[in-house]
Structure 1
Amino acid sequence: MPVTDSMFLMAESREHPMHVGGLQLFTPPEGAGPDYVRSVVETMRSHVAVSEKFGRRPADPVGILGNTWWSDVDEIDLEYHVRHSALPQPGRIRELFQQVSLWHETLLDRHRPMWEVHVVEGLEDGRFAVFSKVHHSLVDGVSALRYMTLALSPDPNDREGRVVWQPGLGRRKRPAPSELETKGASKGLLPFNPLDTVKQVGGLTGEVLGMLPASLKVVGTSFRDHDYMAPFQAPNTIFNVPIGGARRFVAQSYSLDRIDEVRRKAGATVNDIVLAMCGGALRAYLEELEVLPDRSLTAMVPVSLRKEGEEDSSNAVGAVIATLGTDLTDPAQRVTVIQDSVKAARKVMGELSPLQILALSAANIAGLAPGMLPGYRGLTRPPFNLVISNVPGPREAMYWNGAHLDGVYPASIAWEGQAANITICTNNRNLEFGIVACRTAVPKVQRLIHHLEDALSELEKAYA
């Protein structure tokens, strides 16, 4: 098991579940009868063949060897992994969120493959929901959403009923051996060649030697450029405290057309407007609780570093820290300071190599590491106040077995010292916000949904 996977198992405790989740809402196809949701469950359970990734668990003894080695499971109990539930009356979205909160706070069983799917009926509007959760040691949030999207279809007449655990889902055609040798892309398929390794290390030498001056450049920028946000400049808030094991989950969809109109008038990016929405909502929420700090909150966010017209590149993304302008009352001014903050971070990273960008991003993310240690108590300011991330979702209307996907809401991880997480997902012409928070540290988290709508309305008025 790679160390990057095992660390999520080692860090997990009752107070710190380390799985990612997602809630999907579906409208049944026309003519669906009262037993339709049951047929959904039966269709899912009929996929008895399970891929290698979803058919393994931590090795025995669980908690020792299991933190470092995977064990294949011979037979998967799909009645355990695919569960059929119904909401209590009146079956509102509120009841659905309450149920998802309970599912999301419970640990996955390490004696089985670490994933669950809950199919939920009983919503008052006739829709049904699917809540999935997978341990972070198996997939991250982006990969989990990718699997979900691959199981869907843009064709409403597609009745294949694919599932995320079926073998070969999204598998790319394997290149010919000669191509593997040419590209050096054969992970586990080619013999180990020490000479190749020496060449790779030699190629990295210049990058490594450039780390120190690159680091000094970043430090110098943090002193000179007041727009550039470095770690540990955030104020202490109710989000930056030790957390318990109970969770709250809330979610909401917002029209991408509304956000795009504000973006166009403000001369900003969608990401800038999303951060301004979050900043306005967090300001109103903390002000309502009478715990708003004078200093602006900051967030760790992923930012595209591609220049205009540049081809897509997996290396052109960095994790930066941005201000949220929570110390400002004017929504337009909030957008401006967020733009300046993100531009300052992009400017710094634009002068670095891909490897140096990765190192700087890792340094920003490293602020989460102490929170993976049970019992951690921060002795300094938090590195940032919360994580606000976005994951790519479907870009067009999608269906599962004829049912229309109405919404897909991410459910991420709350960390020690990071009691709230906001993750945004694209879905056709909507942006779907999913908020996960510690139930004790972050009271009345559902108020954030209302404040997000208010913040977007204020931005629309500011740029009318």
Structure 2
Amino acid sequence: MSRRVLKVNDSAWLYAESHRTPMQVAMLATFAVPEDRPDFVRDLVARWREVREYQPPFNYLLKSAPVPSWKELAPEEIDLDYHFRHSALPRPGSQRELGVLVSRLHSWKMDRRYPLWECHIIEGIKDPDQPGDQWSMYMKVHHSQIDGVGGIRLLKRILSADPAARDMLPPWAVGTHGPDQSGLPAREPAAEPAPRESVSVRSIASAGSAVVGSLGRTYGESLVGSNEVGRAVPFRAPKTIFNGRIHTPRRFATQHYAVDRLKAVSAAIDGSLNDVFLGICGGALRRYLVDAGRLPDDPLIANVPVSVRPGDAPGVGNAITFLYSSLGTDIYDPVVRIKAIQESTRLGKERLPQVGGLAMDAYTAMLMGPFLSQAILGFGGRGRPASNVVISNVPGPNEPRYLDGSRLEEIYPVSLLFNGQALNITAVSYDGEFNIGFTGCRDSIPSLQKIAVHAGEELEALEQALGL
């Protein structure tokens, strides 16, 4: 079978992995059990167990020598019973019990003797605010294979916009190359591209100059301190309780709002929805640290992933770079804080080199090199952190989605942690709702749920301050 060599940026997630820091990303999708099909989950599991078709990355096995690469396996070489698992919560299963189970499932590193994915169907969920029963699908994949944007694009292919669609394939039979089950019309083909210019010494030199210049400014200011107010750079973040050594057990908490509430705030501040999200996170972390008596004088700094994935199709591997932003945790007033965040992200975006493809991969590898080297060598969490927290926002489907007529109610991202980075906050929008997943180290962050609660309080404070 064929092999696919990993990019340097994808390989880094494998080298940085340990039992304390499994490098996996996941989604928790909760669906409504159709009222006319009480045995829906049992029937779905039975049918999916018979599907032995696999698409990338679900048929990829890691081979470390001579260089990290993916070996494509034949269907008979894959043990579906290992990857596909059926669980149930004690009835009536609450959201708390679901969170405890997901926290445990997300704590453990996947076995590299198998393709690096798991799909768990969880039944027995009862939401007191909903009339019927619910079930969830928790699916995790190694971060060397899929990033956040790639994962959401894959989800869009797996779920249908048509509630009447039936006999739908499981995720592993769809993958990045299988049939698109969305039921949505194909996008209009892109305009005919202009003839590609030949790669010249001059074009290579220009891209290299942009990359080196951006890195030089970033790490030069990191060494001596930025002379721009609000400018956030790596390794200038204050040490907090989020930035020590971590352990294997995880905690997971959620929060959600109507997207229209965030849009109203963004319109009032003449900013973006992502500005509002960062402002809410900064306010929530400030409240949490004040309660703990551990708020530093300097503002916390967030590492914000930025997608550079071209087109709309999902793909295997990562297509992201990063910028650093202040979270304004040194500022009491929520409106003043969000204005400071806007200025910080503006400065961060200005530092991104205007390059693509291999040049952007090289920039990201060098930008994250010192941080990932710490993780790979086991030094993370011992010195000054590159940033205090990773915060990401990924747009999801705008319309309701279904799986064999079972409506998707909520979807939450579950992300990864490092030594020195004990908290990750990732959001996904879906059908008018903004869903936030808080993934934390159980031992480093007591009462993680408080951060989710404070996030709700912070949105209310912004609305009140803006007269909304």
Asked whether the two chains share a fold, i.e. TM above 0.5, the reply is yes
Query: Which digits, 9 at most, give the CA deviation of each residue in 1:313-339, with x for residues without a partner?
Result: x9x985211111111111111111111
- The reply on whether 1:451 has 2:458 as its aligned counterpart is no
What SS is found at the alignment partner of 1:129? strand
Partner of 2:183: none
Residue 398 of structure 2 contacts residue 430 of structure 2 at CA under 8 Å; is this kept in 1? Answer: yes
Shift of 1:348: 3.6
1:144 aligns to what? 151
1:43 is aligned to: 47
1:98-144 C-alpha deviation (Å, 9 max, x unpaired): 00011001121222222111111111231111100111232223222
Q: Which residue of 1 aligns with 2:86?
A: 84
Q: Please, what TM-score do these two structures have when normalized by structure 2?
A: 0.84
For 1:72, give the aligned amino acid: L
Change (3 A) 1:371 1:436: farther
Give CA-to-partner distance per residue, 1:156-194, whole Å, 9 cap, x none.
Answer: 1111323221154257x9xxxxx99x769xxxxxxxxxx
1:208 aligns with 208
- CA distance in structure 1 between the partners assigned to 2:361 and 2:227 by the alignment: 23
Match of 2:31 among 11, 19, 26: 26
Cα shift readout 1:242-267 (whole Å, capped 9, x = no counterpart) = 11111111122211111111111121
Quick one: which amino acid aligns to residue 384 of structure 1? S
Counterpart pick for 1:105 among 104, 107, 114: 107
Which amino acid letter does the alignment assign opposite residue 263 of structure 2? Answer: D
1:265-288 CA-to-partner distances (Å, cap 9, x unmatched) read 121210110001000110111122
The C-alpha deviation readout for 1:404-439, integer Å capped at 9, x for no partner, is: 111111111101111111111111111111111111
- Give the CA deviation at 1:89: 4.1
Deviations 1:71-90 (A, max 9, x none): 62533332322211111244
Over residues 200-231 of structure 1, what are the superposed CA-to-partner deviations in whole Å (9 max), with x where a residue is unaligned? 55531232245455555554796432221111
Report if the CA contact (8 A) 1:300-1:364 is conserved.
Answer: no
Contact 1:231 1:367 in 2 (8 A): no
How has the CA–CA distance of structure 1 residues 116 and 201 changed in structure 2, closer, same or farther, with 3 Å as cutoff? farther
SS at match of 2:121: strand
Question: Unpaired runs of 5+ in structure 1?
Answer: 174-178, 185-195, 306-310
Matched AA of 2:111: D
> Conserved in 2, the CA contact under 8 Å of 1:25 and 1:129?
yes
Residue aligning to 2:178: 169
Matches within 5 A, 1:227-246: 227-246=230-249
Q: How far off is 1:5 after superposition? A: 3.3
Equivalenced residues, count: 434
Q: What code does the residue aligned with 2:155 have?
A: M
In structure 2, give the amino acid aligned to 1:206.
S
Secondary structure, counterpart of 1:264 in structure 2: helix
1:328-372 deviation digits (Å, cap 9, x = unpaired): 11111111111111122233447x555877665555434530343
Q: Which consecutive residues of structure 2, in runs of 5 or more, have no partner in the other structure? A: 128-132, 181-185, 187-191
CA displacement at 1:400 relative to structure 2: 0.9
2-side partners of 1:443 and 1:332: how far apart?
28
Structure 2 contact 252–440 (Cα < 8 Å) conserved: yes
For 1:217-296, what aligned pairs fall within 5 Å after superposition?
219=220, 223-296=226-299
Counterpart selection for 1:320 from 317, 323, 340: 323
1:55 to 44, 55, 59: 59
* Structure 1 residues 234 and 123: CA distance shift in structure 2, 3 A: same
**Per the alignment, do residues 210 and 66 of structure 1 end up closer, same or farther by CA in structure 2, a change over 3 Å counting?**
closer
- Is 1:153 the equivalent of 2:170? no
What is the identity percentage for the equivalent residue pairs of Structure 1 and Structure 2?
36
Tell me the equivalent position of 2:394.
391
Contact 1:319-1:362 within 8 A present in 2 as well: no
Which of residues 120, 128, 134 in structure 2 aligns to 1:127? 134
Question: Out of 419, 422, 432, which is 1:419 matched to?
Answer: 422
- Does the aligned pair in 1 maintain the 2:90–2:124 contact within 8 Å? yes
- Distance in 2 (alpha carbons) for counterparts of 1:344 and 1:12: 32
Equivalent position to 1:10, from 15, 29, 33: 15
Contact map agreement 2:255 2:455 (CA 8 A) in 1: no
**2:178 partner amino acid:** L
Is the Cα contact below 8 Å between 1:151 and 1:169 reproduced in 2? Answer: no
TM-score of the pair, normalised by structure 1: 0.85
Q: Look up the SS of the partner of 1:133 in the other structure.
A: strand
